[in-house]
Amino acid sequence: MHMKLDSKIPSGPLKDKWDKHRFEMKLVNPANKRKYHVIVVGSGLAGASAAASMSELGYNVSCFAYQDSPRRAHSIAAQGGINAAKNYRNDGDSIHRLFYDTVKGGDFRAREANVYRLAQVSNSIIDQCVAQGVPFGREYGGLLANRSFGGAQVSRTFYARGQTGQQLLLGAYQALEKEIARGGVTMYNRHEMLDLVVVNGVARGIVTRDMVTGAVEAHVADAVVLGTGGYGNVFYLSTNAKGCNVTATYRAYKKGAAFANPCYTQIHPTCIPVAGEHQSKLTLMSESLRNDGRVWVPRRKEDCDKKPSEIAEEDRDYYLERKYPSYGNLSPRDISSRAAKEACDEGRGVGPGGRGVYLDFSDAIGRLGAKEIGERYGNLFEMYQRITDEDPYQVPMRIYPAVHYTMGGLWVDYNLETTIPGLHCIGEANFSDHGANRLGASALMQGLADGYFVLPYTIGHYLASNTFEKVTTDHPEFQAALESVKTRTATLLGVKGTRTVDSFHKELGKILWEKCGMARNADGLKQALQEIPVLRDEFWKNVTVPGSGDSFNQSLEKAGRVADFMEFAELMVTDALHREESCGGHFREEHQEAGEAKRNDEQFAYVAAWEYAGDGKAPVLNREPLEFESVHLATRSYK
Amino acid sequence: MSGTMKITLKVWRQADPTAPGAFEEYVAPDVSPDMSFLEMLDVVNERLIEGGKDPIAFDHDCREGICGMCGLMINGAAHGPSKLTTTCQLHMRSFKDGDHITIEPWRAKAFPVIRDLVVDRTPLDRIIQAGGFISVATGSPQDANALPIGKPDADESMDAAACIGCGACVAACPNASSSLFTAAKISHLGLLPQGQPERYRRALKMVAQMDLEGFGGCTLFGECMAACPKGISIDFIKRMHGDYLWAAVTEKPEKVTLGSG
């Protein structure tokens, strides 16, 4: 059975689509809004902004977070900034340019209409955040400051020191707390969504586990919104928070939501290299550092063990400046990451294990002074020193690429609705705006665009266009979902094997990093498709999960998430194997030309939306063709 | 990279909020100085699980010092011995071979223990609910640059806004006061022109909520500032006291005008 993918892109010229659509969408009478109950899962930029905005409109909202407070969602860790097409710098920016850069940066694998809307609402986000009291960086004249980011030749990134995500999230969090206090939002902290409930083909609720008491509970709603982030932790080591997981979106997939482009994973070029086997996560050093840092490796292998200060200028290879002179150190993430891998594969990497390149600030410190560099990046330099015990004012940073963001996610139409009616998906959890590669400072923009300015309109249209039969948790679908969650918990606790959850997760991560990481090929991917099911079988036979289900149990939480990663990994690799081209974060070694990625627009200019077909059955591929009306499909060049 | 270290841990174990709780001792024989403190605990936990025992429960998430989820009393110091460092960013090179380390949860009446080293910090959210926001609905603002804000004010506001809500200030305070947390939010918003309309009402309500939650009073010991991983200044508490006093004198009860709704 093939599902119908209707993107519902409004007709008319690109720049008029959203205005036209806003007028055509149905509205809910103000007095009726409070009769509708909307569930929002996740409290990051997308979830918190959506929950707060819908509550302000008058809807009755419930919001769920696995952390102890909505303020802790992983959006908080975003460092560098948020893009907007304000053109405050008078440097030639415009909505169209932001749109174009984003489509090009995504290697022409995003949906034009969605990206254009994102660029259109970007300016309102900055206005909204300033009004909330987000303390953006400013100039002495009192106006907002900007910095540059990868993949753009204009300076359109707004920032709050190296803590932009934190400040934007606190803005959304405070709006959310304001609505909780008013009674518009009921907050469920330390609750994890473990299943979606679909009644007569329509999303009508979720099943959660209270992570303190272990209580498994059902929640009924008229619409469900997932803002549950990305799946980067499938690799075990990533820059994601330890708790980030794929469970909510993967459970939705198993209930009928198409999962789009899971192979599009972003490897961020500037992270602190792995220090040893004990490594539990990787730490990003903001891309903004590439404004002033120069990336290099020794020209000769023999020099790799020397101190960087002992390597003469002419013996250094500033490979990004050499290969991509117009963008240089600000080349997009996928390109910069692969170039680092290439240098290390050639044996020219530095630091333990030879998996590192230098990010050197000595030129910038010479030009601007250590004080100015400290103002720009002081907190990042401190963080680097705490982790590595090296002072980046004195010696170059060592960096290496790490899994950072996932462009793939649940397939959504122009209204951000998945293939299950009533189930909406926002932020990193959906697939829609970044194509095969996300540009820096665009994740914050998309999360807040979806939550503040898109979903609050489209959810109203959904609610006003449908009638809802009264459903309670006694409904057989709710009872079945509750039962299946409880059974699964009991099964995980009952295996009583000999291996820890983490040991399985690490092994899965290694398979994926080696075979479905920065560079992929058919042989490796096929091997991974052999290895993953074997590991998964062993997991269900030999995992050990101590403790009980009816109390606070972090091992149990991890076990459920890793069990889903074990299945999801296969979907990701299947997608990577089927996409016989290189685009953005998906680099297939078979498809390159003179060392550069080679796209195949004739055969692969489509969104791959995978449909669950049952356990043990191959997922079904559905294609949404990507049509480019305003952008000329071109080979991406940053040379 | 130097060799490994043997570390002996004395860890607070408590099954649930009502259980009595007690210290238990664990030996970590092969700790690398490059490990973070939490990675050291991960290794201890892996061994406990392999031995069929319950691992030590502790809160953590981003592990890069920004989410505010982690927080342990390490040898009596909130977040341990390094200044301006969260527990997750503390590295084992701060300790030496043979060290004994005592690990406890945040201790405060307002933060009941959930399990082992995990405490309930939702009172901090309720302080924000009482007024830690600017009442602006989505969609209403003017252009962002229509309101210039002097760089010094914006910078000072950012200094206060850097609070990660970890609760170390409460844990470090002999009175278990949450004044630094509350003052940081009052100052972040009160230093900005956008925050002026609600400035005094905000101070009044947030301070009242702080008392209601069972946090102690502030007697300016300064332990909070010393423990704060983000270096939030105690000067903000003085600012809060100023706003609060002004509010107590000038704030009028909210006027209800019939028919205005």
Would an 8 Å CB–CB cutoff place A283 in contact with chain B? Answer: yes
> What does the pLDDT read at residue A488?
98
| A42: nearest Cα among A24, A23, A61, A58 | A61
Strand ranges in A484-534 using DSSP code E only, listed in sequence order:
none
Give the number of other Cβ atoms within 10 Å of residue A514's Cβ.
14
| Residue in B57, B148, B194 nearest the CB of A141 | B148
Is a pLDDT exceeding 60 seen at residue B142? yes
Strands A423-425 and A592-593: unpaired
Place of tokens 């709780």: B21
State whether B138 and A456 contact (CB < 8 Å).
yes
State whether A181 and B129 contact (CB < 8 Å).
yes
Contact A628, A112 (CB under 8 A): yes
Containing H/E element for A62? strand A60-64
Is a pLDDT exceeding 90 seen at residue A635? no
Average pLDDT over residues A67-90: 96
Contacts of A160 in chain B (CB under 8 A): 158, 161
The domain covering B121-250 belongs, at the CATH homologous superfamily level, to Alpha-helical ferredoxin (1.10.1060.10)
Query: If you count them, how many residues does chain A have?
Result: 639
Contact A76, B66 (CB under 8 A): yes
* Coil vs helix vs strand at A39: strand
Average pLDDT over residues A263-286: 93
pLDDT in tens, A176-187: 999 999 999 999
* A296: β partners: A358
> Is the backbone of residue A519 left (phi > 0), alpha (psi -120 to 50) or beta?
beta
State whether A160 and B164 contact (CB < 8 Å).
no
| Residue in A127, A137, A452 nearest the CB of B142 | A127
Q: Measured between alpha carbons, how far is A241 from A66 in angstroms, rounded to an integer? A: 12
Percent of chain A's residues with pLDDT above 90: 91
Would an 8 Å CB–CB cutoff place B54 in contact with chain A? Answer: yes
Place of tokens 């089927």: A578
Average pLDDT over residues A506-518: 97
State whether A67 and B69 contact (CB < 8 Å).
yes
Tokens matching residue A576? 């990577």
Would an 8 Å CB–CB cutoff place B25 in contact with chain A? Answer: no
Would an 8 Å CB–CB cutoff place A385 in contact with chain B? Answer: no
State whether B140 and A383 contact (CB < 8 Å).
no
Higher per-residue confidence, A161 vs A590: A590
> What does the pLDDT read at residue B8?
98
Confidence grade of residue A2 (pLDDT, cut at 50, 70, 90): low
Percent of chain B's residues with pLDDT above 70: 98
Question: A269-403 is classed in which CATH architecture?
Answer: Alpha-Beta Complex (3.90)
Strands A606-611 and A596-597: unpaired
pLDDT in tens, B55-66: 999 999 999 999
Is a pLDDT exceeding 80 seen at residue A636? no
| Residue in A165, A177, A280 nearest the CB of B128 | A177
| B7: nearest Cα among B97, B89, B73 | B97
Helices B122-129/A164-182 angle, 10° precision: 70
- Chain A: nearest CA to B252, how far in angstroms? 21
A333 is catalytic: yes
> What does the pLDDT read at residue A77?
96
Angle at A370 between CA A369 and CA A376, to 5 degrees: 100
Would an 8 Å CB–CB cutoff place A366 in contact with chain B? Answer: no
For residue A76, the chain B residue with the least C-alpha distance is B67
Please give the interface size between A and B, counted as residue pairs whose CB atoms are below 8 Å apart.
224
Which residues numbered 199-258 in B keep a CB inside 8 Å of some CB on A? Answer: none
Q: Measured between alpha carbons, how far is B30 from B49 in angstroms, rounded to an integer? A: 17
Q: How far is CA A234 from CA A280, A502, B215, in A?
A: 13, 12, 41
State whether B151 and A175 contact (CB < 8 Å).
no
Would an 8 Å CB–CB cutoff place A445 in contact with chain B? Answer: no
pLDDT in tens, A125-140: 999 999 999 999 999 9
State whether B122 and A69 contact (CB < 8 Å).
yes
pLDDT in tens, A462-472: 999 999 999 99
Which residues numbered 84-123 in B keep a CB inside 8 Å of some CB on A? Answer: 84-85, 89, 91, 93, 114-115, 118, 120-122
Contacts of A177 in chain B (CB under 8 A): 125, 128-129, 132-133
For residue B123, the chain A residue with the least C-alpha distance is A69
Contact A577, A262 (CB under 8 A): no
Residue type, A465: S
Contacts of B121 in chain A (CB under 8 A): 68-69
Where do the structural domains in chain A lie, given as residue ranges? 269-403, 480-625
Would an 8 Å CB–CB cutoff place A307 in contact with chain B? Answer: no
Confidence grade of residue B1 (pLDDT, cut at 50, 70, 90): very low
Contacts of A551 in chain B (CB under 8 A): 15-16, 115
Percent of chain A's residues with pLDDT above 70: 100
Average pLDDT over residues A534-559: 98
Residue type, B15: A
Contact B162, B232 (CB under 8 A): yes
* Coil vs helix vs strand at B14: coil
| Residue in A88, A163, A546 nearest the CB of B54 | A546
Is a pLDDT exceeding 80 seen at residue B258? no
Contact A284, A402 (CB under 8 A): yes
Contacts of A76 in chain B (CB under 8 A): 62, 66-67
Is a pLDDT exceeding 70 seen at residue B220? yes
Q: Measured between alpha carbons, how far is A478 from A469 in angstroms, rounded to an integer? A: 14
Catalytic pick from A204, A333, A338, A588?
A: A333
Average pLDDT over residues A55-66: 98
Is a pLDDT exceeding 60 seen at residue B260? no
* Coil vs helix vs strand at A406: strand
Fold of B5-115: Ubiquitin-like (UB roll) (3.10.20)
pLDDT in tens, B61-111: 999 999 999 999 999 999 999 999 999 999 999 999 999 999 999 999 999
State whether B138 and A453 contact (CB < 8 Å).
yes
State whether A352 and B130 contact (CB < 8 Å).
no
Query: Which of the residue ranges A57-71, A85-99, A151-165 would you say has the lowest mean pLDDT?
Result: A151-165
Average pLDDT over residues B17-35: 96
- Chain A: nearest CA to B135, how far in angstroms? 8
* Average pLDDT along chain A: 96
> What does the pLDDT read at residue A638?
75
Contact A196, A395 (CB under 8 A): no
Q: How far is CA A576 from CA A107, A257, A341, A520, A583, in A?
A: 16, 19, 19, 8, 11
Question: A480-625 is classed in which CATH architecture?
Answer: Up-down Bundle (1.20)
State whether A544 and B144 contact (CB < 8 Å).
no
Where do the structural domains in chain B lie, given as residue ranges? 5-115, 121-250
